């Protein structure tokens, strides 16, 4: 293993214990300073601590110093600039001064763990405290406005940016490819609360150290990247809006060891501390059918694949576990096929959406046709008094608040669900609800903020889950991890160019023929730049899995089936095995015949690994070579160790293009070389 600090692999439990010890040490130092008047590296005389005050902080010369895990953090009260002094030595900038003028600060008040002060010109009250080893800075606005802060990544020691676009990216800040305007990373702000990021966080590696930035108040917050002399840095902006209920803003800062997945470890800890980290084990205890997700690949079925003979064909191939989905169009999956699938141990579920409404007389999908006057009465109304246009510019988006208000008496959602699973389906895929695309509704009869929209979505997804259905949704943003059992989409780091490509029906394919739509079945070659943005392993890191593996099952987007992108098959198979996540297919009768042996071979390799580790946390990730071509992930306390070689040369006996996996009790690793089974006959390389 290389000695480069950026490639280090760590046991995070042990590492956190050491950092907590450091916090106690720095707290003792600050106590000593307050008692003796000894000066510290921060500067002049310390203020006297009032009786009963938390000793792990001090204020002097307009700077607040607090103890955090791994060192101290120093907040410049006049500018909101934040610096850190790691216990290992050195000094780094966690945030430059606020890019918004704040005016002269008011008096500083001591609070438990830190201090509070105001910016009268901005109508802001700020509180900065040490909280669970982090620096936590909270703002409360008395009037509408905005603040552009924190300003991160400007420290010259910054080497890498970690960003949760889909599964996750680690981008060298001076990488010319990502600094180019064509990438779309720089320029327009990224709305943190919209689902553009799968988690409300980002991180930087600063030399031997790193920093994690979490934004619990993601609604109303955006992140804008710029290329400054060929280096990526960013500024967060929060909009204070009483009508949108975004007058509060919180950012936490955590010193890390610089490991690329450390920000996700920090976020996993934060979710756990706040009771918001779901557990797949607990979900399985509550509904044993959820256990069928372990070891299962996923597939949407078309044509004859929806019939009992299609299910039988998968069983004959030796496929032990599958999640099978279908749309409820003119040819839904019948009770006989559902029964056959469940008998074979597969999960079966319809695709549905509660988000779109159209005129019943002209609706182009049964999902968009609703009884009574749901359409147009339930349409989300924008600030100009117009309905929010729905899917593909058809109909409108339907208000979750309107449904929540009427559900106790009308039961529209309950009735829809009963009808959809009358064939015996034990799973359900609810499009959009977990994807983070939230609305503010101005309609007089069902006004709501984005936060209310989110709460409504969580409530109705939980009702489906509590009703005994194994629930999936689209590209689940982290806030949905407790009410979703699986998601289709968050494993994909979607780039803007993908949407442009998909809109080109000549290249991508449209929705014909009905029993095998080209949009799903037509193979497509990604442009080189787009392929690099999405699937180049040197930029890919398992941020989402580090935070949420063991909470839910994460899969790629349904329109990006494993067969849709032939040139990326090997890389995608290696990534799936490395991250311990299923592959996603679309299948009809001919596809099962052509690619069934491939699916069966890959699923046979994956199943025992996921059955053992699917409920475990991802506890370690490392690059084993300086070019990042060889990567390792560990799940649980050594329950599963996976090493993937994305290169062409062997590394420590692992051939290029292959993956090695070892369960805790295995006597020898299990080897898979996907290129030997992809698109061909029986698997020859798994053992």
Q: 628-645 as b/e, with b when 16 or more CB fall inside 10 Å?
A: bbbbbbbbbeebbbbbbb
Token duo for residue 601: 């071979």
**Which pLDDT tens digit goes with each residue over 335-380?**
999 999 999 999 999 999 999 999 999 998 999 999 999 999 999 9
pLDDT score of 446 = 98
DSSP state, 46?
A: P
What pLDDT digit, counting tens, does each position of 228-286 carry? 999 999 999 999 999 999 999 999 999 999 999 999 999 999 999 999 999 999 999 99
Q: Looking at residue 329, what is its pLDDT?
A: 82
What integer is the mean pLDDT of 151-173? 98
Task: Out of 287-301, 472-486, 668-682, pick the least confident.
Answer: 668-682
503-523 tens-digit pLDDT = 999 999 999 999 999 999 999
- For 578: left if phi > 0, alpha if psi spans -120 to 50, otherwise beta; the answer is alpha
Give the bridge partners for 64, in sequence order.
59, 75
Q: How confident is the model at residue 526 (pLDDT cuts 50, 70, 90)?
A: very high
Judge whether residue 45 has pLDDT over 70: no
From CA 381, how far away is CA 378, in angstroms rounded? 9
Whole-prediction pTM: 0.93
Q: Which residue has the higher pLDDT, 40 or 18?
A: 18
Q: What strand order describes the sheet that includes 209-214?
A: 109-111, 114-119, 124-131, 134-141, 248-256, 209-214, 201-206, 158-163, 169-172
Please compute the mean of the pLDDT values over residues 613-637 and round it to a whole number: 98
pLDDT band at 33 (very low <50, low <70, confident <90, very high): very low
pLDDT category of residue 330 using cuts at 50, 70 and 90: confident
| 228, two tokens | 């400054």
């Amino acid at each position: 293993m290389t000695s480069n600090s950026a490639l280090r692999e760590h046991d995070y439990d042990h590492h956190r214990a050491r950092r907590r010890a450091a916090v106690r040490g720095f707290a003792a130092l600050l106590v000593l300073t307050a008692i003796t008047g000894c000066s510290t590296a921060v500067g002049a005389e310390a203020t006297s601590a009032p009786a009963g005050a938390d000793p792990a902080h001090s204020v002097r010369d307009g700077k607040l110093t607090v103890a955090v895990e791994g060192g101290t953090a120093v907040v410049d009260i006049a500018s909101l600039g934040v610096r850190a002094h790691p216990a290992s030595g050195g000094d780094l900038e966690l945030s430059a001064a606020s890019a918004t003028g704040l005016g002269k600060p008011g008096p500083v008040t001591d609070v438990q763990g830190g201090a509070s002060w105001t910016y009268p010109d901005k109508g802001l009250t700020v509180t900065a405290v040490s909280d669970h080893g982090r620096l936590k800075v909270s703002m409360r606005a008395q009037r509408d406005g905005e603040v552009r802060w924190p300003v991160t990544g400007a420290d010259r020691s910054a080497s890498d940016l970690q960003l949760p676009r889909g599964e996750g990216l680690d981008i060298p800040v001076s990488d010319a490819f990502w600094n180019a305007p064509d990438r779309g990373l720089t320029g327009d702000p990224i709305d943190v609360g919209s689902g553009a990021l799968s988690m409300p966080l980002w991180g930087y590696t600063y030399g031997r150290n790193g920093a994690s930035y979490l934004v619990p108040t993601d609604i109303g917050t955006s992140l804008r990247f710029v290329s400054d002399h060929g280096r990526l840095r960013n500024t967060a902006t929060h909009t204070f809006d009483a009508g949108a209920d975004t007058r509060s803003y919180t950012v936490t800062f955590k010193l890390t060891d610089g490991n690329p997945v450390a920000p996700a470890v920090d976020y996993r800890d934060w979710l756990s501390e706040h009771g918001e980290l779901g557990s797949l084990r607990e979900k399985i205890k509550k509904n044993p059918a959820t256990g069928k997700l372990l070891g299962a690949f996923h597939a949407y079925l078309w044509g004859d694949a929806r019939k009992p003979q299609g299910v039988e064909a998968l069983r004959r191939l030796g496929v032990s576990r599958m999640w099978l989905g279908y749309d409820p169009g003119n040819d839904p999956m019948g009770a006989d096929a559902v029964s056959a699938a469940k008998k074979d141990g597969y999960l079966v579920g319809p695709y549905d959406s509660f988000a779109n409404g159209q005129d019943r007389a002209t609706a182009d999908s049964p999902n968009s046709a609703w009884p009574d006057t749901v359409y147009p009465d339930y349409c989300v109304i924008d600030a100009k008094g117009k309905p929010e246009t729905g899917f593909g510019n058809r109909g409108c988006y339907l208000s979750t608040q309107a449904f929540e208000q009427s559900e106790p008496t009308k039961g529209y959602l309950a009735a829809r669900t009963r009808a959809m699973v009358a064939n015996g389906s034990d799973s359900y895929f609810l499009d959009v609800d977990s994807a983070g695309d939230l609305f503010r509704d101005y309609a007089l009869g069902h006004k709501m903020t984005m936060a209310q929209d989110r709460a409504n979505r969580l409530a109705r997804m939980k009702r489906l889950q509590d009703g005994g259905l194994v629930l999936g949704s689209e590209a689940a943003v982290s806030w949905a991890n407790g009410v979703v059992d699986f998601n289709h989409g968050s494993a994909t780091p979607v780039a803007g160019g993908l949407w442009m490509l998909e809109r080109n029906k000549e290249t991508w394919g449209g929705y014909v023929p009905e029993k095998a739509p080209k949009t799903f079945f037509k193979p497509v070659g990604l442009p080189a730049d787009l392929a690099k943005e999405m699937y180049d392993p040197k930029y890919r890191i398992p941020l989402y899995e580090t935070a949420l593996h063991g909470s839910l099952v994460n899969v790629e987007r349904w329109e990006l089936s494993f067969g849709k992108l032939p040139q990326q098959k090997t890389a995608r198979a290696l990534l799936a095995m490395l991250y311990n996540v299923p592959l996603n297919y679309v299948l009809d009768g001919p596809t099962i015949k052509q690619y069934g042996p491939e699916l069966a071979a890959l699923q046979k390799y994956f199943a025992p690994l996921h059955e053992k580790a699917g409920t475990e946390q991802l506890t370690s990730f490392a690059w084993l070579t300086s070019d990042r071509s060889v990567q390792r992930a560990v799940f649980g306390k050594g329950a599963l160790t996976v090493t993937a070689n994305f290169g062409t040369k062997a590394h420590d006996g692992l051939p290029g293009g292959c993956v090695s996996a070892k369960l805790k009790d295995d006597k020898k690793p299990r080897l898979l070389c996907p290129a030997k089974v992809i698109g061909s006959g029986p698997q020859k390389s798994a053992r």
